Structure 1
């Protein structure tokens, strides 16, 4: 009986750890994409560097970044270690930028 309770406790801890990692990676992707979008007008290098800094500040590692016009799409990952000897990776992608090219207006424009 005691062994079953310990096993259930470990399973619960593993599920909890995976859920926390999933939330962490989603937040890092969203915040990284938003930060990168602020620099998208400066080019892919500046936008991706900014996105990577914000992703890292949120405990994730950026694995991919593409900039197309004023839109940025990034993919990040977070290592998950739910139990000793067990490891995995949680991944998420996020996009940020204007809703459409028509949404971008120049200062003083219509």
Structure 2
């Protein structure tokens, strides 16, 4: 259960990061509220998961999922550059997250 909550919390990190950008410095209400709710749920899920998952592993997986999701969101929705090098780096992050799970 902790791993499922951790993964969902990582996806919520992507949501709050995207909402933070869309809030334009907290000047837009809906993205600002989305940011706050997603941040609270993401942090709460991380805290829950860390009751059973070691801190270093849990935090690295959470950040990795959020970073990958945010980078993909940027490339797909915001026109961020897409290159073989960027994709390769994201694959390395995925490998690290999977490795941490397998070695847990």
Q: Please, what TM-score do these two structures have when normalized by structure 2?
A: 0.39
Relative to total residues, which structure has the larger strand share, 1 or 2? 1
Which structure's residues are more often helix, by fraction?
A: 2
Give the greater-gyration-radius structure (CA). Answer: 1
TM-score (norm 1): 0.38
Q: 1 or 2 for the larger relative contact order (CA 8 Å, sep ≥6)?
A: 2
